[in-house]
Amino acid sequence: MYILEIHIFIMGKVATRIAFVLPGPSLGKYEESFGFRAPPLAVAYLAGVARDKGIDARFFDASVSRKPEETVIPEIVDYNPDICAFVVNASSLAGRAVALAGRLKKSFCMLVAGGHHASFSYPLLLRRGFDAVFLGEGERSFSEFLDRLRKGDDWRLTRGLAYNLNDKIVNTGLPRPIENLDELPMPAFDVFDKKLYTAGLLDRNSSLITLETSRGCPYNCEYCSVTKMWGANWRLKSIERVIRELRGVKELGYRWVFFVDDNFIIPVRNIISQRVELLNKIIKEGLNSLKLIVQLRADFVARNEWIASLLHEAGVRLAFLGIESGDPATLRNMRKNLIPDESAKAVSALSSNGIIVHGGFMLGAPYESEESMNRTVRFAVDLIDYGLDSAQFSIYTPLPGTDAFKRAAIKNELLTLDWSFYDCLHPVMRTNVSPAKLFFKQRWANYYFFIAKGLKSLRKGRLLSKPRTEKDAYLRSGTIFLARRIPRYLLGLIKLPFTALLISRKLKRELSVEEKEEINQILKATIEIEAMQKQLAKSMASYMLKA
């Protein structure tokens, strides 16, 4: 009955205000450890869609407040939106999204959600109070949704939507992918409070913005939902569009730009040419005064070392490499298809060209032995000699939508559906080591890497030496940032055994009947979306052939 009431309400009142909400808690240990905070790009795009239709849009970031119920919720209620749109990209945000939505339901705004987690767990969100969930790529379906509301049409006919009708979950399929990304509206970057987003330990007082130059991923790592969300086809924005966006954020006063593309370059000849042309255009336009952050495949850099100097000249100052493991067998099982020696070569090429290199590593895959994990930690420390500047060790987490989640669900390996644990920093499934041991090993790996990094720098006389290059200056800023947190790190280290045991106790209980049913619902939704993705891919291929 509620869905009918909200349908009548929204049809009788044209939507004039939309509140976009990023639920808390804060962005977690990554932000706490590195001070790195980036705004959600999806909000800027969707706010752009709304504004193009004459609808006011504002962004409320509940993740910056320790008590959003007392601060952000009253602000949203005062704004009196017709629609509250929640960004639920990360699984760790799901619980808070449901809690905040429950508080907002009293204000009688329509509650919708979208993002990676929302797409693959939409039955759960709908049964917890959301009126609709946008599936997959959201701009096209959000635009159609707003048009239907404006005309008084039935919004439930929007393609790419799921909703609850008389206790039955209905989805209208996936939206057709946006083949030409230049058709996207210009992101409404002004919805962000620039003061809230910084490049953290590298340049603490500077502002950071997110951009994308492409969507999709041709790889298919089994723990990743990017391909499932965006498709395997790699779609690029034109050089002119990227330059226009870079000019825009520079005029707004942003200093750092994080390109959120899962892979900034892939090894396809015409794409490499386009990337080279883009980088040269950035240099020519003087936009290399912006400090760029990119994500790269280590094997691509290792086989194309010349790219490192061009990246640096174009303004790239930080590169994130998803190295994941130092164990070849683990990398094969992950479908990562990296060779450890190539990762070392990539780190060396980037570092020697003045680019800060941050490596991502993962521990606790279900097919990984304890010795394999130890090999990964040793490999990360060895990479310090090749120029690795920082590292983060995550815990293998089967996120909804991934092949990892499907396997864990089918094999009954999941230990919890407490989404706050799905932050890649807590164990959530059965592996070859106990949850307490895995938690301890992951935390200790982070401490061990930076202790080793500090000792090696001290022996070489670099730790306290005067910066000679721009990179040295940023790293010195990072050293000071981390040094100020040493008391906090020491306290965390002392508490580590007790915290690990506490985590283990929380995961020892049996899953409830309700949790098991919810796992099955996510599994069913994931399989449905996969089938729809395949069908879309076929129709897209047919469309391209006719074109």
> Could you tell me the mean pLDDT of each successive run of 10 residues in the chain, 547 residues long?
44 74 67 77 96 95 82 92 94 92 85 95 95 94 94 93 92 90 94 90 87 90 85 86 97 95 90 95 97 96 97 97 96 93 97 96 96 97 96 96 95 94 94 94 94 86 76 86 83 87 87 94 92 77 45
Which pLDDT does position 123 carry in this prediction?
A: 96
104 and 18 Cβ atoms separated by less than 8 Å: no
Which pLDDT does position 13 carry in this prediction?
A: 52
Helix (H) / strand (E) containing 98: helix 94-104
Query: Angle at the Cα of 257 (from 255 to 259), degrees rounded to 5?
Result: 175
Which pLDDT does position 331 carry in this prediction?
A: 95
301 and 266 Cβ atoms separated by less than 8 Å: no
> Closest Cα partner for 522 from 419, 383, 375, 382?
419
Residues near 419 by beta carbon (within 8 Å), at least 6 away in sequence: 91, 92, 93, 94, 95, 117
Which pLDDT does position 508 carry in this prediction?
A: 83
Tokens of 524: 């069913």
Tokens of 260: 């959120």
504 and 434 Cβ atoms separated by less than 8 Å: yes
Residue indicated by tokens 């509301």: 149
Length of the chain counted residue by residue: 547
Adjacency order of strands within the sheet including 56-61: 56-61, 17-22, 83-87, 110-114, 132-134, 161-165, 168-171
Give CA–CA dist 85/145, Å, rounded: 12
Which pLDDT does position 15 carry in this prediction?
A: 72
Crossing angle between the packed helical segments 239-251 and 269-284, to the nearest 10 degrees: 40
- At 361 the three-state DSSP class reads strand
Which pLDDT does position 433 carry in this prediction?
A: 94
Q: How far is CA 368 from CA 70, 208, 303, 431, 433, in A?
A: 44, 36, 28, 8, 9
> Closest Cα partner for 163 from 195, 140, 141?
141
Q: How far is CA 321 from CA 192, 301, 380, in A?
A: 28, 10, 12
Phi-psi category of residue 401: left, alpha or beta, with phi > 0 → left and psi -120 to 50 → alpha: left
Give CA–CA dist 398/222, Å, rounded: 9
For β-strands 235-236 and 316-324, DSSP reports them as unpaired
Which pLDDT does position 34 carry in this prediction?
A: 67
